[in-house]
């Protein structure tokens, strides 16, 4: 991976650059071990155990999944009893794959529907004005330049008495070196976009060819929490976790539970976080 600051307007076409990347990733992810669609078709739940515990019982509730990608997490909430689930993503190939999977598993469209739209346009794009639960899974916020606008959009879609639930990679990891995760290498408080040039991704990328560009942003934890509070939501909890989902740093080790952690002889640092924010 090569990370650099943009020159001139190299980040100006960020949306199209990132959409092209995610469009290309769809066929690779559909056959990857990371997503393991064969196991999902067989009944495996793609949600993380802490998400299930923190969100709680979804039986009979409506749920909107922002930036849903292939829809595995979206459909997992259906399997757990959510009454009406909508997934939204800006990649048309990803949405088509999600729709196909839902149909194959007899989970849509009565149970789950999928919409192709930019997350900032979600209020106008989704079929309902509000949802009991607005859910955003891991690896979503880094693709968005304006966290305040995201928070305002998400908050508008939370029904009275409902909540937003977010699980994300901890922004501290964006400031650390890729090899050991022990040295502060990048500015934690940077608001500038950064360009990643890579021939690999977070899944087995043997099928990828050439170098692929993405434009990303890091959002300090205080910015995320403050944006949600400013959008009118009440922060119920903020939890930090010492594990992550893939080998973000070369030093991480995969434990028996499937999570990646630093070795036992290393001081622990937060690798992920989760929060719940409610509307009264």
- The number of angstroms, rounded, from the C-alpha of 222 to the middle of its chain's C-alpha atoms is 18
Going through the chain in order, the beta strands assigned E by DSSP cover 2-4, 62-66, 84-89, 112-116, 131-136, 158-169, 194-198, 212-216, 234-241, 253-254, 260-261, 272-278
Q: What DSSP string describes 11-33? A: TTTHHHHHHHHHHHHHHHHHT-T
At residue 36, the pLDDT reads 93
Model pLDDT for residues 86-134, shown as the tens digit of each residue: 999 999 999 999 999 999 999 978 899 999 999 999 999 999 999 999 9
Residue 198 is assigned to a structural domain of this protein: no
Output the domain CATH number for residue 65: 3.40.50.150
- pLDDT band per the 50, 70, 90 thresholds, residue 6: very low
Task: Find, among 106, 111, 74, the residue nearest to 89 by Cα.
Answer: 74
At residue 99, the pLDDT reads 97
At residue 212, the pLDDT reads 76
Least confident piece of the model among 3-7, 158-162, 202-206, 210-214: 3-7
Residue 37 is assigned to a structural domain of this protein: no
- pLDDT band per the 50, 70, 90 thresholds, residue 160: very high
- pLDDT band per the 50, 70, 90 thresholds, residue 10: low
Residue 1 is assigned to a structural domain of this protein: no
- Going from the C-alpha of 67 to that of each of 31, 141, 229, the distances in angstroms are 20, 9, 21
At residue 197, the pLDDT reads 79
Least confident piece of the model among 4-18, 149-163, 190-204, 252-266: 4-18
Residue 239 is assigned to a structural domain of this protein: yes
- The boundaries of the domain holding residue 131 are 50-192+220-278
Share the mean pLDDT of the chain. 92
- Angle separating helix axes 221-230 and 147-156, nearest 10 degrees: 40
Give the count of beta carbons closer than 10 Å to the beta carbon of residue 213. 14
Number of domains in the chain: 1
DSSP structural state of residue 221: H
At residue 206, the pLDDT reads 47
Place of tokens 């949802």: 131
Instruction: Between 57 and 137, name the one with better pLDDT.
Output: 57
* pLDDT at residue 33 tops 60: yes
Paired sense of beta strands 158-169 and 272-278, if any: antiparallel
Model pLDDT for residues 195-233, shown as the tens digit of each residue: 887 655 666 544 555 567 899 999 999 999 999 999 999
Residue 111 is assigned to a structural domain of this protein: yes
69-79 in b/e form (b: 16+ CB < 10 A) is bbbbbbbbbbb
């Amino acid at each position: 991976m090569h990370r650099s600051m943009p020159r001139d307007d190299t980040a100006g076409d960020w949306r199209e650059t990132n959409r092209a990347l995610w469009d290309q990733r769809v066929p690779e992810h559909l056959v990857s071990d990371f997503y393991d669609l064969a196991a999902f078709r067989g009944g495996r739940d793609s949600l993380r155990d802490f998400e299930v515990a923190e969100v709680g019982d979804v039986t009979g509730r409506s749920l909107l999944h922002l930036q849903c990608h292939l829809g595995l997490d979206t459909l997992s909430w259906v399997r757990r009893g959510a009454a009406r689930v909508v997934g939204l993503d800006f990649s048309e190939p990803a949405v088509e794959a999600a729709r196909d999977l839902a149909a194959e598993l007899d989970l849509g469209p009565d149970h789950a529907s999928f919409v192709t739209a930019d997350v900032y346009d979600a209020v106008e794009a989704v079929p309902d004005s509000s949802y009991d639960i607005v859910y955003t899974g891991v690896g979503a916020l880094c693709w968005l330049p304006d966290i305040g606008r995201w928070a305002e959009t998400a908050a508008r879609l939370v029904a009275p008495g409902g909540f937003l639930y977010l699980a994300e990679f901890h922004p501290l990891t964006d400031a650390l070196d890729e090899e050991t995760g022990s040295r502060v290498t990048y500015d934690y408080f940077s608001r500038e976009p950064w360009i990643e040039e890579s021939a690999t991704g977070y899944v087995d990328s043997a099928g990828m060819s050439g170098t692929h560009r993405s434009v990303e942003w890091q959002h300090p934890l205080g910015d995320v929490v403050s944006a949600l509070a400013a959008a009118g939501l009440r922060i119920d909890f903020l939890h930090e976790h010492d594990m992550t989902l893939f080998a973000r740093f070369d030093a991480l080790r995969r434990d028996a539970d499937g999570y990646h952690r630093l070795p036992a002889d290393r001081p622990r640092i937060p690798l992920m976080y989760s929060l719940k924010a409610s509307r009264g």
